């Protein structure tokens, strides 16, 4: 129930204005968001790379309302890729894009987002890195999968995020598996109806394992996006059973969550990639992090009450 309330609030403008105005909010947001500006994010990205981790960078923003906004976001990503190249980071750092930030919700949105995403992917290839397409609300799942399929015609390693909470995801894992492909499997951070999604946490976990089995047996590179200790152990076992070495799949986690575990897995020889968001439009992302894990909400409330 609490999770559903928080996810509803993530789209509430009055709640956004109230939360943003709280002095304590910024300090807590800094745990999960790498800053409002590129210069702030760069410091944190370099620190992660120096610790042996990989990174995917997300410029925060979603639900673009006009073409100018979408064009601005493309410019932000082109600049980001150029900055990563200038800093010599493209071997370890890629970018993640959100379809709605690139114009998916606009009239003729599928064509708009494809054209904009192609520009970003083309630049990523030029500077020597890769792109992951984030998954958003269940209403845009099919369009997002189709977008990735179209982008892969020019760049087969474009990754797609799939959410184990959705009932269709096991089939999507098989659909998107191919040589050089990458699929990022997460549990899902959006509130979807029971008609299309598993509601019970146990059912989501079971779905995650089924989907992960498909990816581990496939030809592509599984990107195991979870902080769940049990699922991490299962992923290691499935990789061993299917003959995958440490270089044949990777773990992915969110910036600010289980940092010690990220480093532990990296020390064991695993590829561990950290999802690093930055930008001033952090509200929706931040509230979804609160909804995902009670520990995150407790951390926020303790900070709000002035406790350590």
| Catalytic residue set | 134, 184
DSSP type of residue 246: G
Q: Which of 201, 189, 239 is nearest to 217 (CA)?
A: 239
Is the distance from CB of 87 to CB of 73 less than 8 angstroms? no
Give the integer Cα–Cα distance in Å for 287 and 308. 21
Q: Could you give the 3-state DSSP secondary structure of residue 252?
A: strand
Distance of CA 136 to the CA centre of its chain: 10
Q: Give start and end residues of each alpha helix (H) in 242-271.
A: 259-267
Is the distance from CB of 33 to CB of 60 less than 8 angstroms? yes
Token pair in block for residue 247: 């270089």
Burial level of 23, CB count in 10 A (0-12/13-18/19+)? exposed
Q: Which of 50, 125, 133 is nearest to 92 (CA)?
A: 50
What is the residue whose two structure tokens read 């599928």?
110
């Amino acid at each position: 129930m609490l999770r559903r309330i928080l996810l509803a609030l993530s789209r509430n403008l009055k709640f956004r204005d109230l939360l943003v105005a709280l002095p304590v909010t910024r300090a807590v947001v800094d745990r999960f968001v790498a800053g409002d500006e590129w210069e702030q994010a760069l410091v944190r990205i370099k620190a992660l790379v120096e610790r042996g981790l990989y990174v995917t960078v997300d410029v925060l923003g979603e639900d673009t309302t006009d073409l100018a906004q979408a064009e601005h976001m493309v410019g932000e990503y082109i600049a980001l890729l150029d900055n990563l190249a200038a800093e010599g980071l493209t071997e370890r750092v890629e970018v993640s894009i959100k379809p709605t930030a690139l114009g998916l919700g606009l009239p003729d949105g599928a064509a708009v987002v494809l054209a904009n995403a192609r520009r970003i992917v083309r630049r990523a290839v030029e500077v020597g890195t890769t792109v992951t397409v984030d998954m958003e609300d269940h209403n845009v799942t099919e369009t997002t999968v189709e977008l990735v399929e179209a982008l892969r015609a020019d760049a087969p390693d474009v990754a797609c995020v799939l959410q184990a909470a959705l009932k269709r995801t096991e089939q999507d894992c098989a659909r998107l598996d191919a040589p050089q492909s990458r699929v990022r499997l997460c549990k899902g951070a959006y509130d979807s109806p029971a008609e299309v999604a598993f509601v019970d946490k146990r059912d989501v976990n079971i779905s995650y394992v089924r989907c992960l089995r498909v990816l581990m047996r496939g030809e592509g590179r599984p990107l195991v996006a979870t902080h769940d200790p049990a699922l991490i152990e299962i992923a290691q076992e499935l990789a061993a059973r299917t003959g995958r070495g440490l270089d044949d799949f990777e773990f992915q986690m969110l910036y600010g969550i289980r940092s010690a575990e990220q480093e532990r897995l990296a020390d064991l020889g695993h590829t561990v990639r950290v999802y690093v968001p930055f930008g001033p439009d952090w509200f929706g992302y931040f509230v979804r992090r609160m909804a995902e894990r009670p520990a995150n909400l407790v951390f926020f409330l303790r900070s709000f009450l002035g406790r350590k």
